Structure 1
Amino acid sequence: MFILCAPGVWAEDYFDPAALELSSPQQKTADLRYFATAGGQLPGTYPVSIWVNGQQASTGNITFVDAGGKLKPVLTTAQLAEYGVNVSAFSAFNRLREGETFTRIEQYIPDASSQFDFSTQRLNLSIPQAAMNVQSRGYVDPARWDEGIPAAFVDYTLSGSQTQQSTNNGHSTFLNLRSGVNLGPWRLRNMSSMQYDTTRRWNTLSTYLQRDITVLKSQLRMGDTYTSGEIFDSVQFRGVQLMSNDDMLPDSQRGFAPVIRGVAHSNAKVTLSQHGYVIYETYVAPGAFAIKDLYPTAQSGDLQITVKESDGSERTFTQPFSSVPFMLREGRLKYSLSAGRYHSGQDQSRSPAFVQSTLFYGLPAEFTLYGGTQLAEDYHAAALGVGHSLGELGSLGADLTLAGTTSPSGKRYSGHSLRAQYQKSFAQLGTSFSLASYRYSSSGFYDLSEATMLESRYGLADTKRSREEISLRQALGAVGNLSLSAYSQDYWHSQRSDKTLHAGFYSAWKGISWGLGYYYTQSSGHSDHDRSWSFNINIPLSGALADTSVSYTTASDNRGYASHQVAMYGSVPKNPNLYYSVQQGYASQGQGSNSAASLDYRGGYGEAQVGYRHDRDSNQLTWGASGSIVAHPHGITLGQSLGDNFAIVRAPGAANVAIQNGSNLHTDWRGYAVVPTLTPYRKNVITLDTESMTSDTDVDQFGATVIPGGGAVVEANYQTHIGNRVLFTLHDGQGLVPFGASAQLADDHTASTGMVADGGKVYLSGIPAEGNLEVRWDDDSVAHRCTLHFRIADSQNTAVKNVDGSCLSQRGL
């Protein structure tokens, strides 16, 4: 009997540094053991993107150390927690003090590993799924929400006109300001306007202070604001409000989506489709499964669920899906609390103190229960309702509101209002249908704003009796789309009513778009009605005018009025930020011809417009400008019109660098810029355009990830290297500096590091005209260092400068 024993073996790519044949025979070779294995590099700090289990988790500078010939990242438990790792489940981390670092992740989490891909500057962490926190898709850890930097800003819109008429001349100027101050988690906001024509009027529209309440996924606001309008009609008030903020939730937990339940007979792939598009895929284990993290989809449209077993067999079933707007997922709670003093634009109406509360809760079986209360001086109301998905029959929501009112003279009124909402989609027919009906059962029902008008100078003439709304959308394939919407409202003790109807057809073919519209309007207080028709067509041009379109619009009504308008508009060739428009038209009933022209410049610091209009009776010159001014810890920066969240790009010295996150965005002369719009509570990547950088500008990384909290002004920092791009040829006392040595500007730890190549050459960027270069290498376990003092000749005007210098090496340093 023979027994053969085969020892275990390990194979990997390896390169023998002794095999290097340098073109300079006198040049020695430094210790290159770091490069002997595939992907090997010098230890140091590198700007990297961090990926966990194939998903990008973060970006930043990570320090790498040598561990057995491979680079291992220096990490902390806080970083792992940021990446979604459940560090509390592993006792090995308890031995680490707060802030203490480690390098071998596999010693703390079994079966975990790290791998650094130097060519793509990507750190790949492989973590067992059981070690990860169970989070919904799209989840961003609230600990990463950035409160932002201290800042103050003004967002402005200015418009004006000068009009010349046959009888008189006039002018008008309007300024709208939205200003704010951010300090820590607090945001102070103000809306004001100024109008100047024959008189000058200044109006303060609203002022409020707000902040996020992260633990409640809510927002607190104090000052001038509005109540939520989901149950009761929205009203303006001055007071305090605390309400759920859906923006804080992962995308897969917002809105309503059904729970998909089924059974898998093996390890299976489950695919969900809607309207012919795959919207979700996942893998499930044998047995019953439930999918609870669908992203919000269209409010109706059947879901096709396909279960593909491991043997290749497939089963498909359909789950009808429809929802009304206020429906929530199972287990989701949404609330709002408001208290303050009612505010109306009518001077003669009352301004009572009031309290309002609303609550929505997602129940099993696709039910949503909701209700609310309003309590005020001489007024109270309570509402209760339910929403439910009826499967193939669509979805239905209904609620009942009871209200009681006491007028200033002591009269008491009471009544109730019944509201119903219905939604249904016929996916195979491409039809979407919705209906909402409000019915006021008695003349004694008043909402809060109506109650404050009782017995005032602007008292209500009649109370609302019923209101119906309907909308229908029909897709006609390649032919186009048809839409229909209608609205009707009538009143108690009156024959008057309000009615509107709109029908439209829209189509497109090879870039040409056109549409037909019909409008019907009947207003209370008017015995007659208005009917009008419209047609428009838009044709894009090609060739030298590829950025230009021409359009034709005509409209007419039942009173004999008709108009025709031809326009050409687009961007100026070779200047895509300058837009123009010229129009020529004609109107009946004695109005005659009219014409107009305008220019619109959309720059990095805002937008400016100028225009001219002419018709039979007048000539008018118009102008406008919009933009923003932001003060922050590093100075003042001009920008475009701002959203609720924005970023300050900080790339010191990198002037006039384009930013890819908007139209015509670029840094100013100092290297700062405003990115005007960000998505709160989500990862936003702000990217610099490398092709727009000058030859003396380099940055460590071109993309910065920011995650702003609500209303935050965040900072996107870039480590810049401003200076010359230089190819050094380095010598020491024994000839050329060894191959593989590292070189870096002395006394500048933020400067990039280069590796000496064949011929003693090393390329570095961000180099000043004069300075010191520090070179290090190891030889036979002895450390060497030499410092080169250099000065770049003024006569060199090439993109890459050349410097040839010598220094004396020092052993053992």
Structure 2
Amino acid sequence: MVILPPLVERFFRLKILHLSVSLALGSAPLYAAETIEFNMDVLDVNDRTNIDLSQFSRGGYIMPGTYNMVVHINKDDIPEQAVNFYPPDDDVKDSQPCLSPELIALLGLKPEAMKGLTWWHQGACLNTDSLKGMETRPDLATSSLYLSIPQAYLEYSSPDWDPPSRWDEGIPGILFDYNLSAQAQRQQRTGNQNYSVSGAGTAGVNMGAWRLRADWQGNLEQQNGSAQGSSKRLDWSRYYAYRALPAIRSKLTLGESYLDSGMFDSFRFTGASIVSDDNMLPPNLRGYAPEVVGMAKTNAKVIISQLGRVLYETQVASGPFRIQDINDAVSGELKVRVEEQDGSVQEFTVNTANIPYLTRPGSLRFKFAAGRPSDWDHRSNGPLFGTGEFSWGVSNGWSLYGGALAGGDYNALSIGIGRDLMALGALSFDATQSRATLPSEKETLSGGSYRVSYSKTFEEIDSQVTFAGYRFSEENFMSMSEYLDARHNGNRVGGSKEMYTLSFSKQFRDLGLSTYLNYSHQTYWDRPANDRYNLTMSRYFDIGRFKNLSVSLSAYRNRYNETNDDGVYLSLAMPWGRSGNLSYTTTADKKDITHRVGYYDRIDENNSYQMTTGASRRGANVSGYYNHEGDLARMSANASFQQGGYSAVGLTAQGGATLTAEGGALHRGGMMGGSRMLLDTDGVAGVPVRGYGPTSKTNLWGKAVVADVNSYYRNKASIDLNKLGDKVEATRSVVQATLTEGAIGYRKFEVIAGEKAMAIIKLADGSTPPFGASVRNRREQDTGIVNDGGVVYLSGINAGDRMTVHWDGKAQCEVQLPAPLKIDLTNNLLLPCQPMATVSRGSASGNPDKIEATKPTNNITTPESGPIGSMKK
């Protein structure tokens, strides 16, 4: 038989009783009226007269009060809410959760379901019987309230999407996002040196539902040994404000903007627009976002722009690249510029494709805009115009759409029809007629443009046609942007003739082979055609004991201004070590053939690097690339050397700063000016938190910002418990939010920080608090439960702090923790509990709801240590 020390024995008896209570409550029916009796034989005789188990004595019983609970609706969650528990109007011996009108508004009930609701407790709480089949189940152990609601009462939902009633506009604040890139190059033969720094970003202010934004971009370039000298420029390119209009699933924008249209080409204007926002729809009903694919011959800078505005800028390592995180609001033609470190430049255009214009049956999507075209100097540069377009889901398979643009001497009209072919995909056709009068022309030019679009996913053969379409424009057809250019230049330049594009992917699972094809063709009436091909094939395989080898082949052709730029990229890679990857690559173009051997390794989730060395006709070459996902910014550095050619280094930094009344932080970058979540760990620094990307640590004030969140998606953030320090514990480690576009969401974790130790609590008369009493810190967090003899295992102990001891549903006394704090594992802290002059801790939840006076008594002292000391076992 094992004899336990008295203190350890008490501790284990406490744990056994806790387990018994948990099992009893967990198995008891909800709101069971029967009384649960506990076997007191496990306690000492004296302990039986000093015990508070009133809160555990009734199955399923929850004391009246206010509790912070996460609300679970079927399989969905709502962030923590304050839930009141009241006795029913006809039963003063029980309590039920009060579902307030504010909480009901978050459930996403259909309008017809809302009309039949009835209420109790003077109209403050929902009568759940008014929703037939609805059930409630509170769980104090997990601070959760489970609601089971028949799906017929709820709006459309999906696993990652919430109805508008749960969208969060965020809190007021200011933000500044940036994307900086610096490069230095030296040509060995001439000695010429080139230094450049470029950047782009967004500054903004959030006020309620409104988002005020200003976009900027700049460039500083210094060339030594060149007649061009140096140049610098900084432009605040765009000022605008926008907000969501959830009631009509649209977005209102005021100020300088770019026309967002599925029928007419984009152009810059100053005015106002109201546009149906596909992002507000469930994910499987949203539109198409453009992607850009290409291949870099060296470490290179990729710049994607539209009408002079930089949309995306980054540095990539040598080899194929694929950029997919461009805002899906972008439409029209994109200009892609790839600046290689050897001084060469690739340029090509990408036409963003729209999937066939289909709308859900009975739904109406629309886009309206009005204003005047403007230039980069924020001046009006064209006639007053107005435009509108719509798409109407006529039936389950047919959609009708059309639009008009009217602007003085320029007018256009478009009409189209779409058909869901079910198993055969989706097809649409539209025609646009323009009519324009140029100042330099004596006659009016009129022409048509015709487009056919098709989209299909072939699940049975693992393939997908992302978009395939054809568009033909007559010679006299003009888009608004072409009209503005002709009006400014005095004559017409660059009339589009034909355009078709194809994006196709196919999986051959039996062979382990993946293929991806992207092709676009554009012809003009007055200049040479442009063509772009890109084919990628990759395969995984095993050879003997070598597993997960991969081979990849990429080939491309860019034909621009009657000049071909062709290239082939072949790569063979194999795992090496714990997380590394060893590769051999060959790059061939019309100028050279390069062979390289490279090694890539991921040090941890925040750091990775790549090193390559090789040879070509020009000589040996060496390059390196390092990427760091830091708490304050996302940074990368690269360097390369080509024998007899050049040497170059580059650096990028992408991040932002967000500041609100709740605090702020520097952080890694996301979408410029986009949504983000400010996470609060209650002042505890160094807590590892994460969204969907790598972990970040909270700053000195216990704040961190994660910017890798999406608008109108259900985003989750969590504390990485595996990296949490020994002196910190999280009682609530996961939060979630569905944010409107550009919102700054604020979420708070429940974190207890401090030392942990065994302590003995003594009252003023020398007795101890009753068994089962709870100890709470200043933040009303439970830090321990009292065992018999006043023994308690406390967490969150910090020098000089105060904690309160609760029983009978209120705070009874307060303990002062010693300062300085010395934790001695061989002794227990002796903590006298002083009566409180006023008790304002309130209900079972700890929320203030009343003030009570208690009789003052003499302070406790001990011979060994005075008011606060230690007691030996």
**CA 366–70 in structure 1, closer or farther in 2 if over 3 Å, else same:** same
Deviations 1:620-649 (A, max 9, x none): 232332221222214442111133100111
| Aligned residue among 608, 615, 619 for 1:586 | 615
Whether 1:482 and 2:515 are equivalent positions in the alignment is yes
Partner of 1:59: 80
Partner of 1:596: 623
**CA 36–172 in structure 1, closer or farther in 2 if over 3 Å, else same:** same
| Aligned residue among 658, 662, 666 for 1:630 | 658
Tell me, what secondary structure is at the counterpart of 1:796?
coil
Distance, in Å, in 1 between the alignment partners of 2:811 and 2:454 is 79
Distance, in Å, in 1 between the alignment partners of 2:820 and 2:533 is 76
Partner of 2:266: 234
Distance, in Å, in 1 between the alignment partners of 2:279 and 2:139 is 35
Whether 1:759 and 2:789 are equivalent positions in the alignment is yes
Contact 1:404 1:414 in 2 (8 A): yes
Contact 1:37 1:69 in 2 (8 A): no
| Aligned residue among 682, 687, 691 for 2:713 | 682
**CA 485–571 in structure 1, closer or farther in 2 if over 3 Å, else same:** closer
| Aligned residue among 35, 40, 63 for 1:19 | 40
**CA 20–679 in structure 1, closer or farther in 2 if over 3 Å, else same:** farther
Q: TM-score, normalised by structure 1?
A: 0.79
Contact 1:24 1:759 in 2 (8 A): no
Tell me, what secondary structure is at the counterpart of 1:452?
helix
Distance, in Å, in 2 between the alignment partners of 1:801 and 1:379 is 88
Partner of 1:50: 71
The residue type equivalent to 1:523 in the other structure is Y
Give 1:88 shift.
4.3
| Aligned residue among 522, 526, 539 for 1:507 | 539
| Aligned residue among 86, 94, 101 for 1:77 | 101
Give 1:743 shift.
3.9
Give 1:370 shift.
0.8
Deviations 1:474-522 (A, max 9, x none): 332332133444333334477x433333333222235333222333444
Contact 1:695 1:725 in 2 (8 A): no
Contact 2:664 2:703 in 1 (8 A): no
Partner of 1:225: 257
Contact 1:33 1:69 in 2 (8 A): no
Distance, in Å, in 2 between the alignment partners of 1:806 and 1:456 is 85
Tell me, what secondary structure is at the counterpart of 1:583?
strand
Identity over the aligned pairs, expressed in percent? 24
Contact 1:784 1:809 in 2 (8 A): no
Q: Considering only aligned residues, what root-mean-square deviation do their CA atoms show, in Å? A: 3.7
Give 1:426 shift.
4.9
Distance, in Å, in 1 between the alignment partners of 2:798 and 2:67 is 22
Distance, in Å, in 2 between the alignment partners of 1:135 and 1:467 is 38
| Aligned residue among 686, 708, 719 for 1:656 | 686
Structure 1 residue ranges without an equivalent (≥5):
1-9, 257-322
Distance, in Å, in 2 between the alignment partners of 1:471 and 1:125 is 45
**CA 462–740 in structure 1, closer or farther in 2 if over 3 Å, else same:** closer
| Aligned residue among 758, 761, 770 for 1:730 | 761
Tell me, what secondary structure is at the counterpart of 1:407?
coil
Give 1:348 shift.
14
Partner of 1:439: 472
Deviations 1:238-289 (A, max 9, x none): 2211101122233465469xxxxxxxxxxxxxxxxxxxxxxxxxxxxxxxxx
Deviations 1:177-235 (A, max 9, x none): 32111112111112212211212211222221111122221111122222124111222
Distance, in Å, in 1 between the alignment partners of 2:166 and 2:36 is 42
**CA 77–741 in structure 1, closer or farther in 2 if over 3 Å, else same:** same
Deviations 1:99-153 (A, max 9, x none): x458xx55776765533333333222345667x4454446634343222222111
Contact 1:349 1:453 in 2 (8 A): no
Partner of 2:699: 668
**CA 739–90 in structure 1, closer or farther in 2 if over 3 Å, else same:** farther
**CA 134–490 in structure 1, closer or farther in 2 if over 3 Å, else same:** closer
Partner of 1:325: 356
Tell me, what secondary structure is at the counterpart of 1:536?
strand
Contact 2:206 2:212 in 1 (8 A): yes
Structure 2 residue ranges without an equivalent (≥5):
1-30, 222-229, 289-353, 542-546, 837-851, 855-873
Whether 1:451 and 2:483 are equivalent positions in the alignment is yes
Tell me, what secondary structure is at the counterpart of 1:199?
strand
Contact 1:725 1:801 in 2 (8 A): no
**CA 21–353 in structure 1, closer or farther in 2 if over 3 Å, else same:** same
**CA 760–609 in structure 1, closer or farther in 2 if over 3 Å, else same:** same
Partner of 1:705: 736
Give 1:22 shift.
0.8
Partner of 2:429: 398
Distance, in Å, in 1 between the alignment partners of 2:783 and 2:379 is 73
Q: TM-score, normalised by structure 2?
A: 0.74
The residue type equivalent to 1:763 in the other structure is Y
Contact 2:117 2:131 in 1 (8 A): no
Partner of 1:284: none
Deviations 1:591-637 (A, max 9, x none): 32222223332211113333322222322232332221222214442
Distance, in Å, in 2 between the alignment partners of 1:621 and 1:784 is 65
Contact 1:350 1:453 in 2 (8 A): no
| Aligned residue among 169, 190, 193 for 1:147 | 169
Tell me, what secondary structure is at the counterpart of 2:119?
helix
Give 1:777 shift.
4.2
Give 1:334 shift.
0.9
Tell me, what secondary structure is at the counterpart of 2:486?
coil
Q: Equivalences for 1:242-253 in 2 at 5 Å? A: 242-251=274-283
**CA 210–401 in structure 1, closer or farther in 2 if over 3 Å, else same:** same
Contact 1:741 1:775 in 2 (8 A): yes
Distance, in Å, in 1 between the alignment partners of 2:67 and 2:566 is 68
Partner of 1:268: none
**CA 584–362 in structure 1, closer or farther in 2 if over 3 Å, else same:** same
Give 1:336 shift.
0.6
Distance, in Å, in 2 between the alignment partners of 1:35 and 1:471 is 64
Distance, in Å, in 1 between the alignment partners of 2:378 and 2:787 is 81
Distance, in Å, in 2 between the alignment partners of 1:458 and 1:529 is 32
**CA 341–101 in structure 1, closer or farther in 2 if over 3 Å, else same:** same
**CA 394–760 in structure 1, closer or farther in 2 if over 3 Å, else same:** closer
The residue type equivalent to 2:698 in the other structure is T
Contact 2:814 2:835 in 1 (8 A): no
Distance, in Å, in 2 between the alignment partners of 1:426 and 1:253 is 18
Contact 2:136 2:146 in 1 (8 A): yes
**CA 587–13 in structure 1, closer or farther in 2 if over 3 Å, else same:** farther
Q: Equivalences for 1:760-799 in 2 at 5 Å? A: 760-770=790-800, 774-777=804-807, 787=813, 789-792=815-818, 794=820, 796-797=822-823
Q: Equivalences for 1:524-563 in 2 at 5 Å? A: 524=561, 526=562, 529-542=564-577, 546-557=578-589, 559=590, 561-563=592-594
Partner of 2:201: 177
Distance, in Å, in 1 between the alignment partners of 2:379 and 2:80 is 58
Distance, in Å, in 1 between the alignment partners of 2:400 and 2:383 is 29
**CA 801–352 in structure 1, closer or farther in 2 if over 3 Å, else same:** farther
**CA 418–108 in structure 1, closer or farther in 2 if over 3 Å, else same:** closer
Distance, in Å, in 2 between the alignment partners of 1:713 and 1:785 is 36
Whether 1:419 and 2:451 are equivalent positions in the alignment is yes
Partner of 1:355: 386
The residue type equivalent to 2:550 in the other structure is S
Deviations 1:46-84 (A, max 9, x none): 443222345434423445568887664344232233234
Give 1:173 shift.
1.7
Count of residues in Structure 1 that have an aligned counterpart in Structure 2: 715
Partner of 2:645: 617
Distance, in Å, in 1 between the alignment partners of 2:407 and 2:807 is 80
Tell me, what secondary structure is at the counterpart of 2:732?
coil
